[in-house]
Amino acid sequence: MGDIERVAVDVEGVLAASHARLCTVHNNRYDTTYTETDIGHWDWVVDEIGFEEFMAITDEAWREEDCGASIEAYGDVAMLANALDRLRERFTVDVVTARTGVDDAIQAWLAERDIEYNTFHSLPHTETKAALGYDAYIDDKPGLADRLAADQCQYLVKQPWNRAAWRHRWTIAVASVVEAVDRLLANTGEL
């Protein structure tokens, strides 16, 4: 891992529990009983629900007037905001999401929680965040690390859908954003 200057932090599955909202809406519509823990691998959404349905439901959730209430944060909001503040004291911290079309809603969700960042980037799900050239990524996507250069790293936020990557040699598996920030700062001598 090289010198770290720029850090990308993902939204869905990292800061925001949009998958929990997906399960709730899908269960109500189709009389299913899914929970986040049922999402046992990255392609579960494609296999069980269908990618288009996943995108439609989660886009709707972001566009809901009360998305702040319907999409919860992962963990204590004050702790998340504080963790990103600590990270921003040392690095450029951008929020980067592989979802387009709901930028304003996501940014409003972040603002409601006092989660501050330098820049917001949304890119199509067909593009890789690795191409953006951040030094470190706090993300839940398994396989992201496979696309990183030797001087980049991924702090993989553990989720049921990325279990297979928890022991990947190019990731540092963490339980939360707060742990990722603590470890990143400790690894750079800033804690």
- Residue-level pLDDT at 40: 92
Q: Read off the pTM.
A: 0.95
Q: Are residues 27 and 43 in the same domain?
A: yes
Last residue of a domain, one of 70, 86, 109: 70
Q: Are residues 23 and 61 in the same domain?
A: yes
| pLDDT tens for each residue of 100-146 | 999 999 999 999 999 999 999 999 989 999 999 999 999 999 999 99
**Low-confidence spans in the chain with pLDDT less than 50:** none
For the stretch 171-180, contacts whose Cβ atoms lie closer than 8 Å and that sit 24 or more positions apart, written own/partner, are 171/145, 174/138, 176/74, 176/75, 177/9, 177/14, 177/15, 177/74, 177/75, 177/80, 177/83, 177/84, 177/138, 178/75, 178/79, 178/80, 178/83, 180/83, 180/138, 180/155
Number of domains in the chain: 2
Cβ atoms of residues 168 and 153 within 8 Å: no
Domain that holds residue 42: 18-70
Residue 43 lies in a domain: yes
- Residue-level pLDDT at 69: 78
Q: Are residues 45 and 129 in the same domain?
A: no
- Residue-level pLDDT at 77: 95
- Residue-level pLDDT at 191: 53
- Residue-level pLDDT at 65: 78
